Amino acid sequence: MPRILVLQLKRIGDLILTAPALAGLRSALPHSEIVLLTAANVADLARCIPSINRVIPYQAGRVNLSAWTTAMAGPWDACLDFTGTDRSALLTGLSHAKRRIGYQKFSSKQLRRLAFTEFCAASVRDLHTLDFHAALAAQFLKQPAPLSSDISPLIVPDGICQAAKQKLAAAGVTGPYVIIHPGTVRGDKLWLASRWAEVTAYLVKTRGLNVVLTGSGDGIELGHLEEMHKRLKVPVADLTGKLSLPELAGLIEECDLMLGVDSMAMHLAAMFQRPQVALFGPTNPFHWRPRHERAAVLLGDAPGPRLQFDPREKPHEMKDVSTVDVIGAIDLVLPNSIIKP
């Protein structure tokens, strides 16, 4: 039974976009033991990845004796570094795995070169992030690692889903609902609060839907959320700061529509292939967009959803995405049956 150590220590979205590659690994090696070492703040969500046997949390700024001991103890048949940092390279080297694979893109430093036995030559610039991570899995398997497999990338346990639904009911939501996740860790990816208020009014008054706000409710999101509430003219259920990551995933999996900017919530909706409208500006949708058929991707350079994407797309400002464009995209992806008579 092959034992594989996987390192993904980046942000939440990076973990989510690694899940399909791990599902491909599991499909190809159904009897392997796959251990994921990941950031502590996403460990609970990582446990929703069914292709993983065990999750080892890594807490930034801590000693992390358990994580280092696990990496060094092994024995490992392979170590796959999806992270590409000095820390992950050191963990890879200390794993003493027979095969230690990382990205050639991140191997310019001498320490990183010494840590690995082989490199994946995939181009981060010319690939969607899903394909970039799938290429690393394929390097290990010596064959393509399918992004579509018989294993779901994410499965939220029933108990967590029930807890999330109870919070939803306590907020007064009992029927079809739309999730608006306006926040992100980058201020330049925030859409205008006034326009979110206009879209919310359309969903409630015209489409007869419940609107649920989600997010962390702290950092730069806090001021943005306060500005939205000042402009809202219709009732909403505000669950910002009240959901764990797995609970948020559970609610997104059951929602009728998900709206948001380029964020981890957008990636969760994409994993569950929920109807969604994704707003882009400074980040390139070529690398990060949802790719399923029920997703509409908006970029401020033209009206209507984007159908063609360029790896060399220039950044745009979020204010260039209009309210009319968003409402039009909603009408495209939201089933006609969910319309107020």
pTM as predicted: 0.94
Dihedral sign from CA coordinates of 244, 250, 256, 262: positive
Question: What is the per-residue pLDDT for 279?
Answer: 98
State the DSSP H helix or E strand holding residue 179, giving kind and residue range, or none if neither: strand 177-181
More confident: 146 or 300: 300
**Mean pLDDT calculated for residue range 193-203:** 97
* 341 confidence band (pLDDT: 50, 70, 90): very low
Helices (H) and strands (E) in the chain, counts: 13, 12
Least confident of 19-23, 142-146, 313-317: 142-146
- Specify the 3-state DSSP secondary structure of 9: coil
- Which whole-number Å values give the CA distances from 269 to 60, 161, 261, 295, 307, in the listed order? 27, 15, 12, 9, 19
**Nearest Cα to 81, choosing from 110, 112, 111, 56?**
112
Here the tokens at position 162 are 């029930």
Proportion of the chain above pLDDT 90, given as a percent: 85
Question: What is the per-residue pLDDT for 23?
Answer: 94
What beta strand segments (E) does the chain contain? 3-8, 33-39, 54-58, 78-81, 99-103, 118-120, 177-181, 210-213, 237-238, 257-261, 276-280, 295-299
pLDDT digits (tens, 9 = 90+) for 296-337: 999 987 788 999 999 999 999 999 999 999 999 999 999 776
Domains, in order of start, for the chain: 3-141 (3.40.50.2000), 158-333 (3.40.50.2000)
Question: What is the per-residue pLDDT for 191?
Answer: 97
pLDDT digits (tens, 9 = 90+) for 89-125: 999 999 999 999 999 999 887 778 899 999 999 999 9
| Paired sense of beta strands 237-238 and 3-8, if any | unpaired
**Mean pLDDT calculated for residue range 19-47:** 96
CA distance 39 to 55: 10
Q: Flag whether pLDDT at 211 surpasses 70.
A: yes
